[in-house]
Amino acid sequence: MDYGKYKYEADQRAKESKKKASNLTVKEMKYRPKIGPGDFTTKTKKVEKFLGEGHKVKVTIMFRGREMQHPELGRRILDNVAGEVNHVGKVEFHPRQDGRNMVMVLAPDKQAQARHEKELKKQAAAEAAEAEAALRVSDEEE
């Protein structure tokens, strides 16, 4: 057997396996205990986008000074984030204190995304049927 041909085929197999490998990255979103509602929704939508793209998300609450005395505030924020994005992701590592930070890791959940998309399609179909019925009623009145 020709060594050059063997080497070429081995390179081709390696290239093909690299194509099939998924490149999973971990994105990070940082929150503060005194975050406002507008900032919370903006950051949470970004987390939702990352999960929708298939990335894992590390959510961090950063404590400063006296905020360290109230870890329940950080846990409440992390629970709210998990609740807001439960249709696209699930909690992989539950909140835990890590020095001055509280950390939670979210992972994308394909089954939950499929359920959510199915519900959105049902809602859209119901709204379309309702709009069509209202249009028929207004045409009959004229």
Which ranges of 1-142 would DSSP assign to H, the alpha helix?
3-20, 37-52, 71-84, 110-141
Residue 114 lies in a domain: yes
Question: pTM for this one?
Answer: 0.67
Residue 17 lies in a domain: no
Asked whether residue 142 carries a pLDDT value surpassing 70, the answer given is no
- Please indicate whether residue 60 or residue 121 has the higher confidence score (pLDDT): 60
Residue 11 lies in a domain: no
The answer to whether residues 63 and 128 belong to one domain is no
The CB density around residue 109, as the number of other CB atoms within 10 Å, is 19
Query: How much is the pLDDT for 118?
Result: 79
Strand order of the β-sheet with 56-62 is 26-31, 56-62, 101-108, 89-98
Task: Indicate the number of domains in the chain.
Answer: 2
